[in-house]
Every structure is written in C-alpha cells, then in structure tokens.
Structure 1
Amino acid sequence: MTTHDIAVIPGDGIGLEVTPAALEVVRAAGRRHGFTCQFTEYDWSCERYKREGAMMPPDGIDRLRGHDAVFLGAVGAPGVPDHVSLWGLLIPIRRAFRQYVNLRPVRLFDGIESPVNAAIDLVVVRENTEGEYSEIGGRMNRGFPGEMAVQESVFTRAGVTRVLDYAFDLASRRRGYLTSATKSNGIVHTMPFWDELVEERAREHPGVRWDQEHIDALCAKLVLGPSRFDVIVGSNLFGDILSDLAAAVAGSIGIAPSANLNPEREFPSMFEPVHGSAPDIAGRGVANPIGAIWSAAMMLEHLGHPAAADEIVAAIAAVLAKGDVRTRDLGGTAGTDDFTRAVLTLITEGRTEG
C-alpha cells in the first residue's frame, strides 16, 4: 500500500477547524482507494510568532523539504500584520519550493445560489513567485513629509514562460480556450512584455484559442458573463484578485480551493483553501470546510490518486445538490462537522452521485 508523507500546518483561525475535517476525508478516501497518508503537524502560526518572534523556525523549509506535500489551513490573526504572517510562512514556502503555479478551480455547484445567473466552470492560473509580489523596494524618510515607498515588479522571461506553458497545456486538456489578464494600456513595461510572451507561447499551442483582456474589463466580464471563461492566466497580483472574485461569483469564497504547484515535482507542492483565517468566526464551529476538503482532493490528484480526488469532489457536489446540509455562508445552518460528516458518509458508503 502506498503511503504519502504529508506536512500539515493548520495555522490560524478557522484553519484549526477545517484542516482536521479535510484530513479525515483524506483518510476515508485512502481506505477506499488503497493508500494511506502519514501526517506530521507543525504549529507554525501567528500564535507562534507572538510567542517566539517568528512564524516558523529557521530550519522550517528544511523540515518540509522531505515531505511529499504540504497542507496549509490558513494564515493570519489580529495583532500580527498581514505582511508579517504571509512573508514569514506562506510566501517563503512557495518560493523555496519553486511553486510557481497557483491553481484555483472555480465551479458553481448545483444547489448553490450565485449572485449571477450563469454556469461557471473555470480555472485561474496565477503566476506565484514573482511579478508584483517581489521583495525589491523599500521606504525612505519615514515619518517626514517627504516619506516615500517604492515597490518593484519583476517579470522574467523564464518565470512568465513557464506559467504560460502550464496554462496553455491545461486549456488544451479542458475546453481549449485561454484568456490572458493584462493591463498593457497603463503599465508600460511589464504588461507589454507579458503580452508578447503570451503571443509567443500561443504559437506553440495552436490547438488553443486565446484572447486577452485588460484586468478592469476582465473583472466586469467575470461578473457579467462568467460562463464564457475556461482558463484564465494572470500575473501574481491579477491572478490573486481574479480568483477571489471568481470564488465569490460562484457562491462563496469558503468553497474555493487552491494548489501551489511545483510542476516538475522537484520539491513538495502545497495545498490550501483560499478563504484565509476568518478570525471573526474562528472557534465557533461554523466555518465552511469545502475549500479545505477540495484542496485536499487536489493534493490527492497531484499525488497520483485521481479517482480518489474525483470521488471527494463528487461527494461535495452531491451534498450540495441535496441541499439539506449547508453552512451559513451558503444560506444554511450546518456547522463544519455537519458538512464534513455528510461528505464522509457518501465516501464511506460509496455513494457519490449527485
């Protein structure tokens, strides 16, 4: 029997609640599909930062390096600035392990009410290690009238090309349509460079129809007509914004999963729900576990268990389609455990048809 060694970082807030739910679903899927997962938990979090002055220990990356994958619950807490929590844990992991693809599927499940009346089934491919989220820049003259802040964007040919190739290849295996997010009418250097590389890589993928949209117009079209989109590829900032917007259009950011992928598998990839730590509802047992459970399914697919991953997503879809178990963000009254038990029942009994 195959055994996978998974690093688990529950993190902060509702991460402590949805992570156990997702891992229990992984265990159930493993029993049905003939694999096991060994979980090693790390208490790296904002609470650790408050106690010890760091989100993770100095050798944290080395501790994670030998695992097959990393599962992250959430990062962030009141009293710890977001740039401290993110740059102290999440972003260093993404960059040390060359997780340059952030993959975020978006789907409107039967039984969920959307703010828009449309079928939604798309994937946002976000460049994950450079772009607008660079470390180059600084601040000068703090506290004085002439204070200034400079933040540099970094777009490299290698970095953009590899994420574009991933997105074009993904589109070729879906509906054959790719949309590139740009803003080359206003950002004079990096975005024209991005556009040129999109056109260049498109020639290597002749079977994929493609177009490009300025980010402002794309946001509007994603709300007004989301069903037209298949694969959307964007820079670090644009992909981040688009994926959260698309999740809200599909009913709730609580259902949104993500994968931080090293496609070459030279390093472990990391899987996490999109929703964040949600301190306003943490500890109440009402958090939606779908984003975490779906992220766990993406992890199993990456580890070579597509049938198990499909079964988990089918169980989520079946529970939502039935409609009697919904968390509060979806208009219901169910808690985290209620929804998790409903999914587990379908998987354990092999009843995952909606």
Structure 2
Amino acid sequence: MRRGTAIFALLLISAFTSRALAAGPALVFEVSNSKVLFAENADDPWHPASLTKLMTAYLTFKAINAGRLTLKSKISCSAAAHKEPPSKIGLPIGGELTVDKALQALIVKSANDVAVMLAEAVGGSEEKFLEQMNATAKKLGMKHTNYVNANGLPDPRQITTARDLAKLARAVISEFPEYAHYWSMPQMRIGKSRLQTHNGLLKSLEGADGLKTGFTCDSGFNIAASATRDGRQIVAVVLGDSTSGERNVRAKSLIEYGFQQNGWAQMFNHKTLDNMAYAPTVTSVTSVRESVVSWNCNPPKKKRRKKKKTSVKKDKEAHEKAAPAKLEGAQQANAAAPGLKGTLPGVQP
C-alpha cells in the first residue's frame, strides 16, 4: 500500500513539475530532527498573508503558559479591531470572546479582527505586540522576516521566507503540543454560526493535523501543512500558487514525498533548517497578482463600446444629394395644387 502511495506521490510531483516552476517557494522538513527533505527557493522573500497568524497564535500560547492569560480570559473588540476587513468575526465594538474561542476564530476562520484583539490583549497594544513578534522572529532564527501587522493583511513591508515559516511551524509544534488540537479543527461554532476551516487538506490528506493557510493577491495561495503517520510528522510550506486547489495538490504531493524519505534514502542527508546554506543573493519580494485566479485580484476589464465615427465629408455629400430631391418633390406638389394659396414650406415659387 505504502509502495503504491510512493509511486502516486512521484507521479504527482512529475505531473506538476511545470506548474511548480511557475509557483512560489517550497520547503519540506521532518519535525523530530529538522531535516530538510525538499527545498526550492526557500530563502526568497515572500508575503506571508495569514500565515502571519502562526506567530500571533505562538505568542498567545506563550502568554497563556506564562500566566498572563487563561483560555477562559475574555478579550474585547476595540475600534481598531472592529474596522479590520474580512475575513472576520464581525464583533461590535466592546464585544467579547474568550481566549479559547478567539484562538479558534484566529486559526479556523482566520479572523483578522480577532488577530488584533489577541495582539492588544497579549501586548497591551498592537504596536507593542509587533515588537514582540519581530523580537521572537529574531530569536527563532527567522532572519528574513518582518512584521508590521498581526494578521497578514497586505503591506509591502510584511515579508518572510519559506525557511522562516518552517522554523516558526517547528516552534509552534515542538513548544506547544498541548495546543495542537487548534490546528486540526475542521470547524468551529460561534453563536449559532458554524465556521469551516480554509485548510482543505484536513479532509483529503491521510494523517493531516494542521496548520494554517493564507492568501492575498500579491502572495498567492500559501499554506503551512502538517501530517503525522507512524510517529513521523512532516511539514510542508508552500507559497505563491495561483489557486487554492493547486496549493493543496502541491502541498499534498510534497508531504507524500516527504514520508517516503526515510532509511537509506536519508542516510547521507545532513541538511537541516538550521545548517542549510542560505541563498547567496536575496531577491526582491515577488508578487504573483497577475497569475492568481481570483476576481478580486484580476477583475475583468469592461469593454468600451467603440462609437461609430461618421465622416463629416460623407454627411455633407449625403445632405447635398438629398436637398435637390426634396426640392423637386415639393415643386411637383405645388404644381398639383394650384388652388392653394401660397406654396409648400421651404419652396420658393
């Protein structure tokens, strides 16, 4: 069975090789030993989109374990949180959520307003929370990451790399196993509403147990995906696909590939997230907006109807031809009615 899975994974990778060349960076690693099983453009700067919320959740977990918050603590919706655009829960100003429910909304719904609520609760303000985010990124060895907001909404200064996101995913999984269930939740309830996860791999990939998806027009469709089988946990970071479907196929095929890399296949692989050589030159951040299949990113252009241009010269010629005919017709009418006084309008006697 596993042999068949391996063949299927290789066929998938082969089939999508041409598409992968047009897609963004990717990295696959094993959590237990940090071995890099696959890497492509892993240090290219990229917009993280909602993968930013991995860090927001990480710092929230730290605050809980430090005793500064509990899962039952209530946090309120400020004016700043309320004005954040979708995806969001849409609480009114002053509305409250428990930290537990907020984490569910952050991870399952990818709620931008809740990200700001948690940032304010953990850091005292979003600005101070951002300082924590960037300081933590530095401690984790995320050398090419910079945060300017807590939710990943578009900003040219919000950048990361596939390697940096892999290091963050490793920290989330390794340091906070007690919160692993949040990443694998297929849905959540808030009030009477049932909200579904954006992570389709939770339903389609054997052993899938997290983590998070992200999307903006410039970043394309991103994912940090995890799966566990027979005690091995493999994580794939995939960035910049044109559709969520392509993202899922690429992540799934790479995770399948990762599970086949064991024993003799990895005997001479000593490359890890920490010792893998960095790219000699860092390119500028890439935008994939033009290739993204989304009406919001590339709305159809309205076709302007071309007005028919009538030649002034042709109009004049047509008028001149019509005038004698009208005059002749009018003269005939006058001749046919001798008893009438005067003449038909527009005709000189």
TM-score range normalised by the length of the shorter chain? under 0.3
TM-score, with length taken from structure 2: 0.26
Between Structure 1 and Structure 2, the one with more strand by share is 1
Larger of the two Rg values belongs to structure: 2
Q: TM-score, normalised by structure 1?
A: 0.26
